[in-house]
Amino acid sequence: MKFRGITLSPTASFFVFSPLLLLWLACAASLARIAQAQAPAPDSPAIEEQAHAMLAQLTLEQKIELLGGVDSMYTRPMPGIGLPRFKMSDASVGVRSWGPTTAYAGGVALAATWDPDFARGLGESLGRDARARNVNFLLGPGVNLARSPVAGRNFEYLSEDPFLNSALVVPFVQGVESQGVIATVKHYALNNQEFNRHNASADVDERTLRELYLPAFEAAITKGHADAVMNSYNLVNGVHSTQNEFLNVKVLKGEWGFQGILMSDWDATYDGVAAANNGLDLEMPSPKFMNAKNLLPAVQSGQVKESAIDDKILRLLRTELRYGFTTRPQFDPADSTYSVADRAVVLQGALESITLLKNEGNLLPLDPAKIKTIAIIGPDAWPAVPGGGGSSQATAFDPVSFVTGIANLLGSGVHVLYSRGLPQMNDVFRNTHWEGEVQVQTFPSVDFSGTPETGARLNVADWKPNQWEPADLTPRSVRYQATYTASNAGKYLLLAAAAGEDSFKILVDGKQVLDQVHAEGQVPKFASLDLAAGQTVNVQADYLPHAAGSRFGFGLAYEPDLVMAEAKQFAALADVAVVAAGFDPASEGEGHDRTFTLPWGQDSLIETIAAANPHTIVTLTGGGGMGTERWLAQVPVLLDDYYPGQEGGTALAEILFGKYDPEGKLPVSFDRNWEDNPSYPWYHGAPGADTVLHTTGENGRPLDYTIEHIKYGDKLMVGYRYWTTTGKHPLFPFGFGLSYTTFSFSHLQAPATAETGSTVPISFDVTNTGSTDGAEVAQLYISDPSAKVDRPERELKGFEKVRLAPGETKHVTLELDAHAFSYWDEAAHKWTIDPGKFVIRVGDSSENTPLDADLVLE
């Protein structure tokens, strides 16, 4: 695929050709020739013979040693058989484990491109970046379904639809592995919430599992030929993924014929014998459970067969031999650690993904000639936010923020005014004017019992980011009590935050308002209080620290005063105001779920800026839908930039000023509020959520932890499947995205009848009816009104991205195979087609399908 170029000024280089230089060049050329043998070789008798020969040299103890990683990010070496250690890297948006890197528009942004060609190019770029860092295993892509907008790692994954995910993951995997790097598809399976992820069981029926949550993994294996899979932390139907026979043995290695390496996520193994017997090949980052202490006696007693151990070692050896890891250097001198060329790939991903959701009065594109002053305001305006938090967070070499991207495009003739718009969180805590001092009681217990030490403070502002600190299990609980008097009538922000596994509760006049339970990670908690002028409230904060010292803060602020005065001033002065709102690595990331509402203060910020400037543009950063109802009617323009990678600022500027036509399409349904989402009644923490806590162990064994069973009662009704089946409507539908031009669909051609199991061609025309070059995603959905079982009203089964000049028409043909018409028959345990009437629907979103035709399968 040809990417947008980034033109650099040429420079001349001169060399003095000495014998030493010639020798160096010869060595470099030799290494380059070796490295060019990149794509993995197919399995062969020779590779199989060599793997078995290496296995035969190992003792049982040595075999078991190889089942665990070493030094956090490496496989274990075995010098006696010529096996070095092999290097890994996290990689959702960049090869991030070994220093600064190129940060791409990956995950949900990739899904918003709806572009398999771009997915292939992105995979190739990540593969090159890996080779430049001597990385053998790329720990990605993540392909879990976006079931709920609050799931903390949605931004790393793709979309709410299994067909779209499958169509993108196959070329992505092929791109990575074409560069001689193993792609690791994760997190297998059902990692659809981050809260309590080690102890949460996703309880789902087989039909829903097969139709929604497994297809992307299956496509990655059977079509993309991924050579590694990573198990998830969570349990599935009561059994941890790393020891789940159904997932690992029956489906992955049995039905799909997976011959590669199944590894655990880091510290996601819980029982060495159960994992060894149920498909896990490699425990990362170290063998805490699959070790000699646990497995040697198990093999000797017959509890674990040595042949099962041999199969794991053969998978490791066979895969590493196929990639040539033992015979060639992984470093490729043809690749750059900092690749200027790959900046074009980053920019293309951002341009293709940014989605225009509202453009009232055609405010966009902006005319640079008419802009003298522009205000860029918000927490995500600067610095750049290439991606979310956790193990995917990449440190980009040279990220372009929205402020710098817009300023670079406009040049010196336009005044650019920047303000964060909101104070830092600890400033809110420090600037809370309590009546008198905050009374502090520190108890020698975890339940606020015993005789406390007492003290007083002016405020409580000890919050620190979610960084790892050693646990302190000394019993301790801290109670803060304070009084606050409202200076004005109106809304007040109550804000509190801790870090890590700390927990707290905030009570106002004896009523609990905020609650952070003990969990792996967290984000700030906040609520809005309506207070009358002069009203006094009593605030109590009960804090349970999990580390030494304090990482806690809380405070109150009058919402109209929360927005910085300079932000209001800049917005009023500017011709246009851009508000960059949404999430960032601190508020959306691994180990915790996020809020559906925007982070604290941002609703007030947008309302305030919109009131000061009628030409207010809002761009949202985040891994899916988020709350907009407080202010959406007040702003003429809304964009979703997801996490756009290191060139996000450049891409946003080009789209705002018409240098590039917006072409992103929503990969998720965008809900009005969290309560509207079909997963809400079944999600952890939702009122009435159908969760069951118990301590019954797997196979009847006692547990030292509590399993939280999360029933997937929404079944097949995920995202647009729910909205189109019920006849209700989200705020913005799946597949939706505006353009600066217009398109029409016509001349749908579909056979009236076809034989069940045959390939069915569907064709139609797409025309650019506007005056601007642009791209449209033609989407094909199938309805099965005559099915013997309940099916969603429509399901995506085909799409194609087309680029058209004004007035240009393209004839599109999509082919539907048997699987496009199938559903999983739970009674027969197989894919089934019910002959009869099907409806073919074509359009530009799940809710706008102007073309339809009936098709009878006989």
Clarify whether 265 is annotated catalytic. yes
Question: In the chain, how long is the greatest CA-to-CA distance?
Answer: 86
Q: For residue 402, which of 664, 111, 115, 657 has the smallest C-alpha distance? A: 657
Angle between helices 602-612 and 565-573 (to 10 degrees): 40
CA 398 – CA 762 distance, rounded (Å): 45
Contact 778, 802 (CB under 8 A): yes
Which residues, including other chains, have CB under 8 Å from residue 439's CB and lie 6 or more apart? Answer: 454, 455, 456, 480, 481, 482
Contact 248, 280 (CB under 8 A): yes
| Backbone conformation region of residue 538, classed left if phi is above 0, alpha if psi is from -120 to 50, else beta | beta
**How many beta carbons lie within 10 A of that of residue 305, not counting itself?**
13
> What is the DSSP code string of 450-496?
SPPEEEEES-EE----S----B--S--EEEEEEEEE-SSSEEEEEEE
**At 7, phi and psi to the nearest 5?**
-80, 130
Contact 642, 109 (CB under 8 A): yes
Angle between helices 340-353 and 648-656 (to 10 degrees): 50
3-state SS class at 507: strand
3-state secondary structure 76-106: CCEHHHCECCCEEEECCCCCCCCCCECCCCC
The two structure tokens encoding residue 589: 């990331």
The two structure tokens encoding residue 200: 């949460």
DSSP 70: B
The two structure tokens encoding residue 490: 């109106």
CA 777 – CA 734 distance, rounded (Å): 12
Marked catalytic residue, from 265, 271, 714, 834:
265
**Could you tell me how many residues make up the chain?**
858
Per the listing, tokens 């064709």 go with: 763
CA 214 – CA 232 distance, rounded (Å): 13
What distance, in Å, lies between the first and last C-alpha atoms of the chain? 40
CA 277 – CA 311 distance, rounded (Å): 11
**CA-CA-CA-CA torsion for 552, 556, 562, 564, nearest 10 degrees?**
-60
Q: Is the dihedral of CA 176, 178, 180, 184 positive or negative?
A: positive
3-state secondary structure 259-310: CCEEECCCCCCCCHHHHHHCCCCEECCCCCCCCHHHHHHHHHHCCCCHHHHH
CA 624 – CA 140 distance, rounded (Å): 19
Burial bucket for residue 531 (CB in 10 Å: 0-12, 13-18, 19+): buried
Active site residues: 265
